[in-house]
Chain A
């Protein structure tokens, strides 16, 4: 055994780059785009929008009396509903993807590489969330818009004119894309808390699909104002207000309680998501990876 007396490497110079939030964003972007499952989920978002929007348009145009052109608000409201027709499905896709983005790291062990590279941990979670939200918003926006553009000729056949210069219509589409991004983040936070793919997906879908069904049935049966208000405050119900075209609609007989404004709906979903992220952050800091 020989003892080597080579000089120790110089201490890490501050000129060499360290962990930066920008670097974490680049890292998370590489991770997101380099998995086939992510790419497929985003393709599915666009495909179901192109499929469902024209179908919805066809349903609307066949319901309109021939020769009777609907008024501006009604036509634009129909356009918004056609554009966002796919959200019922795409929210499920985004929710599964959101949970998988984080639970996939736990199930494969990747999380240990991630957290050794970013030992402060929280920047890794927030970087991941930021990249996922931005990409989901952009893909969601493109999907909804392409769906609407494909559906406009179908609406035209049914004498329903669509005015694309209407800011409120664009706001509904942007609201739909923002809803998808937020519901994705909501699921990502649940995934970060549960750390298991099957459990994370089940919990997220339960909160988005099953919970509203149970509460709304209960609201209709009981006809209690507070149950209706609770129902309106659930993540997916509150979030749905984000992509509703702002026009006075006939009060649905099944709606109990006060309807939220679109911005209020966005705020409620934001609060849900933020609360889950707070819990996820505390747990990420405390738990062993």
Chain B
């Protein structure tokens, strides 16, 4: 259980995290979703005390991270794949980190096996690919067999097999009753991994709800209707306070009414329907809609050929 209340972080004049409060519950995977610069990493760093909040506080299982008797056994953290000295072997890195908590060779060998690092355990980390670095970071996070995991972009740099593995691992850890918080800017990843999503934008919580709710509430559920009598149906639905858009003479997209209700209204007026299809918005759409106003770094427009030629 991670609880943040009024958490704020300012770097000089810039507010990275702006008075956010949220709760991450055990037994499910909670996704931290947001565009770059939304404050995901900063919040995660504050959870484990690497950054000091400007105001507010965040606790893990009721205590601030630093106040725990055995922090690594409470919270496993993967902040970035590069939190490792490049001149040291993976094995020595894990031994050194574990030693602070009296965690010895046996457990280190276990996490090396769990993350599939056996063949490179004695190689220096400097030569690791991003994917191997991520595996080492996950191995370090799992060292203390913690009840809470905080993983910042864990699938970054992994190959498809690695992505699948992280997905299964996080689902498995949550199923064991652990608290799992993971961040990503990839909506598709979240859709497949998370049960609950906290959407951040410009340092604020935009949405905090189960995955299904986020998809349903933000795009609404649109219904595609095909009818030869489009004009009459449009007028009829408008009186029922639905939003109707038309993309073809016989095709209407209706927001604000359920498919059964539209069917009933049409039947009452004896309007013929050729198609009546509810379309569920994707998480991707929901995310774009939620964060549209909160993207910190917009991509510059693609220069036109005229501009490029200059």
Contact = CB atoms under 8 A, between A and B. Distances in A.
A113 B73 CA distance: 14
Interface in A84-110: 104-105, 108-110
Contacts of B123: none
The listed residue with most B CB atoms (<10 A of its CB), out of A4, A23, A36, A37, is: A4
Interface string B81-124: 01111111100110111111111000000000000000000000
A27 B52 contact: no
Interface stretch (B63-71, B159-167, B279-287, B302-310): B63-71
A34 B124 CA distance: 10
Given A1-B195, A8-B27, A23-B102, A119 B49 contact: yes
A7 B175 CA distance: 9
Contacts of B209: none
Mostly, the B contact residues are loop
A187 B150 CA distance: 35
Given A6-B177, A116-B77, A35 B88 contact: yes
A36 B87 contact: yes
B26 interface: yes
Nearest to A1: B195
Contacts of B49: 115-116, 119
Contacts of A3: 27-28, 195
B97 A27 contact: yes
B87 A18 contact: no
Contacts of B211: 1
Given A7-B177, A17-B103, A112 B212 contact: no
The listed residue with most B CB atoms (<10 A of its CB), out of A1, A11, A24, A114, is: A1
Contact of A288 (B52, B69, B101): B52
B101 A117 contact: yes
Contacts of A27: 96-100
A203 to B, nearest CB: 22
B252 interface: no
B254 interface: no
Contact of B73 (A16, A24, A110): A16
B38 interface: no
B65 A108 contact: no
B151 interface: no
A17 B104 CA distance: 11
Nearest to B178: A9
Given A104-B85, A113-B140, A119 B48 contact: yes
Given A5-B27, A27-B96, A119-B49, A18 B83 contact: no
Contacts of B92: 30-31, 34
B250 interface: no
A18 B84 contact: no
A283 interface: no
Interface residues of B, number: 52
A9 B174 CA distance: 10
Contacts, number: 147
B147 A120 contact: no
B74 interface: yes
A1 to B, nearest CB: 6
Contacts of B174: 4
Given A34-B88, A289-B50, A117 B100 contact: yes
Given A16-B70, A113-B140, A117-B100, A108 B85 contact: yes
B240 to A, nearest CB: 32
A24 B100 contact: yes
Given A9-B178, A105-B85, A117 B97 contact: yes
Interface in A1-57: 1, 3-9, 11-12, 14, 16-20, 23-24, 26-28, 30-31, 34-37
B147 A8 contact: yes
A19 B83 contact: no
B79 interface: yes
B71 A116 contact: yes
Contacts of B87: 35-37, 104, 108
Contact of B51 (A8, A120, A288): A288
A7 B87 CA distance: 41
A118 interface: yes
Contacts of B27: 3-6, 8
Contact of A31 (B65, B96, B98, B212): B96
Given A34-B92, A119-B66, 15 more contacts: A5-B27, A19-B72, A20-B101, A28-B96, A31-B92, A31-B96, A34-B89, A108-B87, A109-B84, A112-B50, A115-B50, A116-B49, A116-B83, A117-B101, A118-B71
18 contacts: A4-B174, A14-B69, A17-B101, A18-B70, A19-B72, A20-B100, A20-B102, A27-B98, A34-B96, A37-B87, A105-B85, A109-B80, A112-B79, A116-B50, A117-B101, A118-B71, A119-B49, A119-B71
Interface of A: 1, 3-9, 11-12, 14, 16-20, 23-24, 26-28, 30-31, 34-37, 104-105, 108-120, 124, 286, 288-289
Which 4 A-B residue pairs are closest in the complex by CB-CB distance?
A17-B102, A18-B70, A119-B66, A27-B99
